[in-house]
Structure 1
Amino acid sequence: MATATLDTTTTLLRIATAGSVDDGKSTLVGRLLFDSKSVLSDQLDAVERVSRDRGHEGTDLALLTDGLRAEREQGITIDVAYRYFATANRSFVLADCPGHVQYTRNTVTGASTADVVVLLVDARKGLLEQTRRHLAVAALLRVPHVVVAVNKVDLVDWSQDRFDSIAADLRTAATTLGVAHVHAVPVSALLGDNVVDRSDNTPWYGGPSLLELLEQLPSSDTSDDAAPFRLAVQHVVRPQSGEDRFRDYRGYAGQVAAGVVRPGDEVVVLPGGRRTTVAGIDTADSLAAGLDTLPEAFAPQSVTIRLADDIDVARGDLLAAAADAPVPTQDVVATLAWLGDRPLHPRTTVLLKHGTRTVKAQVREIAGRLDLDTLDAAELLAAESLTLNDLGRVTLRLAAPVPVEPYARARRTGAFLLIDPDDGATLAAGMVDGA
């Protein structure tokens, strides 16, 4: 049999955009797609036709995303619009989040899985309350990188002093909120300066264009390689009739959430606690080609793990590195982003979905609501309930132990959803603070 090889030449970067109303976010996204040649010809023809009908002198690139916003305003439940594009160096998934204050929950949704938040600031207005709120949400969600696009620098005569002043204010706010990595880029989304190509209008700026910066930043999948191994079992592959090699085959399929796993590694099955070692690692392609076991697997690969011992493993269990495994618990303290239309009250019964495991839970206590202007966890506002778009601290009691860990340590295994047990609607996105 041949030996499997892995293709790691292309990495995916997940981007979320945020900004106040009229900061030019639609135009920036449109410019990014257009200048990176990620717009189909029929889409461009339609945008040019609408631009002419509206009396615009040139092509209004904001229309490339405004159509999706119009659909949301008509009542479609998808709050965040996603765009996919690629360059020769990288593939991107872009989550376009609404900018209004009342849509804070949508910003939480879009930024929850992002590697980078691109935060727009109008060069004429500078740091606004909504800018600080979006920066605070990025800090709460532990987004690894924040890129600040100081837009409309053409309207302040390409002023270096104005850009430097805004960049300094943002870095001060970011430091206060605990955001470690902030990058500032002066851009004109309307004219295309420093969006994809560097501009001659900002000779005082020596950094990369926005797209060049996005091509360089590491993804969270890369940083997850250094974390302890985690895989939530999604499917148990049982012995099958047919080819001899599958008659005794048993494996546990899922996506690697963090870390690296290799044959011979010791793992623990949670919440049961049984220990064993990894006998082999397969993918659908490697099995179909008759390849030997993979030498390793890492986030975010989808693989099937074979274990050395025949132990009880079911969907919803977590395979974790035995040397550094989370401790299953029934009591969880967490920060919730409340997404439900009905308020949340103490003693409410919900379903908690963590990875591929779902258990019943009860809200024991609402400790308070976070101030959206500061998100200072030490200064909670008193609250007897949580309403739409609130961010609050709660204590949950679970019907069965779940191997959660702090969100600050592990974004994927520290996150969960709360679901309405009656209709299956998503009520909240949760981040574990502790057990």
Structure 2
Amino acid sequence: MFREASVRQMRLEMLLEQHLASLPHKKSKSYSDAALGQLETARLEKDELIIDAAAVENGEAFWSEEIQIQSDAIRNEAVFDAFITPFFSNVLHSCGMVFVNSERYQWLSQSTLVTKNTDLKPDGFATHRGMFRAKPVPDDGVQRPNGFRFGVAEEELFDCLILFESKLTITDAAFGRVVRYLQNLCPEASASAILFDRRSFWLIKSHKSVVVKVQKAMWVNKGSKSLFQNFITNNISPWVAYLANACSSLGVDVVEGDAFLGRGAYGRVFKVTGQGQEVFALKIVEKCSVGRLYREEKALAKAHHTGLTISSVGELIETPDSAALLLFPVGESLPQPTTRQEVRNFFGLLWQLHANGLVHGDPRVPNMILTEEKPLWIDLVEVMGASPTLKQFDAEILTRSILSVPRTVLLAPALKQLIDNYGESATRENLNHLAEVVYQSLVF
């Protein structure tokens, strides 16, 4: 059975790679949305991947015939969005998600090589209320009930979205636009989107930027409500549940629209408030990384007396598929150092850790925050004592981080020698000498 499943998976991967290689966007980005939509529709129909969902006897429609008449009468897309958003919100609420309107903002990049003014503007998306960046309600004269959300998605949380695209009438161009969204949202993973108009909706799945299935249904069809709900449920990111479960277990709540603080190698961090409105950072990891979070908790406890790091609040908690830890205080990320003094400051803070008999394990620039004018280390990795070798590793990691040199690239011989010198004799003088040469390398 396992072998058969593996063979099926391999065949699927091969088929997807073939489709990916033949897609228009791989050959040219000059196709219009309409042309791309036509090409993709033809491919999907040929492979029988477009399905018209049949009505289900005794099933519930998404909305009634009376509401459909109201929908048909709408002639303005913004008004239609205001009309349908409460229906989406009701469905999403039961799944622990919210609907965010984003059609006014360019937030989905097509490439890191092009200017931001070519970024795409999906009409909206569904996600957890702590996983988007809020924007003000537009002053466009459209009447909207209270509770509407406007914002953009967090780039590091694109895997936690379901895209929505609205049209008064679905066209080839509308479908082509959604295809383009899915090509750029999660190019190496699965993604999903809902294209809809006044009378119907399309449920669209992609894998590695290739659309692999489309289901079509009418709003008034019997069974359309469960079809819509099941699509949402089946495509929710597990991180939505991780965040909801962690907040519930710890008695905290996300700062809606301004919660996401960052994503590391194994965890994601959100700004939350306690019952007394205290502000904390909530770090969440998947089950496979629980051991690493326990090590971080232990490392922070060991370093607490130094005042050089953030602190854990309470104990780490485990939920069925994840684990979470509250941290304090919450600060601002520091920019890459560009001046001699800024470079010296980073190495000076590393020296303070080492002088206290501690090592960091991953002292990169992003792992330093500023809180009330005081810099603090975050994301400690090591719980062992500061051996000469571990101090040397710390010095090399910080050097590479400041100079943006990946581990796959050799450092200049002069830098390598200074790092080795620090490993042999971990003195403040040797670290200051390294800091000076790092700054000179940065400038010249």
Q: TM-score, length-normalised on structure 2?
A: 0.30
Greater share of residues in helix = 2
| Structure (1 or 2) with the larger CA radius of gyration | 2
TM-score, normalised with respect to structure 1: 0.31
